[in-house]
Chains A and B, each alone.
Chain A
Amino acid sequence: KNEVEQSPQNLTAQEGEFITINCSYSVGISALHWLQQHPGGGIVSLFMLSSGKKKHGRLIATINIQEKHSSLHITASHPRDSAVYICAVRLDYRDDKIIFGKGTRLHILP
């Protein structure tokens, strides 16, 4: 069983829809990252969370440490949001060990 699970694996939605991607983890962590990987391979770090909620433009990330769960939300989705979204956790007992989820492939239709 993976220590970091994402759902759904694939998501297709219409432009304008509200998108939610979930990440659950089974280990103690010090931080959680949401990453965006574009079709060409480049990866951008969207958020780093250790508690609560962060917002950047149309993107919102939340984390519940007690429930070991994080969500990434996209409001008013747009075709340019189409990418793979990856959840990654930094463990709290091994220096700088990061475990990645398999990613969620998002496709926004115009």
Chain B
Amino acid sequence: ETGVTQTPRHLVMGMTNKKSLKCEQHLGHNAMYWYKQSAKKPLELMFVYSLEERVENNSVPSRFSPECPNSSHLFLHLHTLQPEDSALYLCASSQDLTGPINSPLHFGNGTRLTVT
């Protein structure tokens, strides 16, 4: 039990579909993140939310739309994706974004997305 739960674990979708990835954390953290991991590339930060407000959007295409209804839940809504969007999407959380001692990231197991 990592404390960060992602669903679904695997998702196959067509380019015209609309789907959503869900992340839930039970750690009482205030910051949540979406990362993308493509084959043979480093993890890429997509979005950061702190206290349910988006604080960073790393030039992510608009076909990815995040939503953070509360500090425990984070969604990534997907529509009209491209095959190159196929990747492992990881959710993470941390206690907060500030303070002299930086808080470690806690990752979920990821959703492996395949766009056909």
Contact = CB atoms under 8 A, between A and B. Distances in A.
Nearest to B43: A100
A48 B42 contact: no
A100 B37 CA distance: 10
Size class of A's contact patch?
20 to 34
B106 A96 contact: no
B51 interface: no
B104 A102 contact: no
A42 B2 contact: yes
Contact of A96 (B40, B43, B48, B112): B48
Interface string B93-116: 010011001101111111010000
A72 interface: no
Interface string A1-28: 0101000000000000000000000000
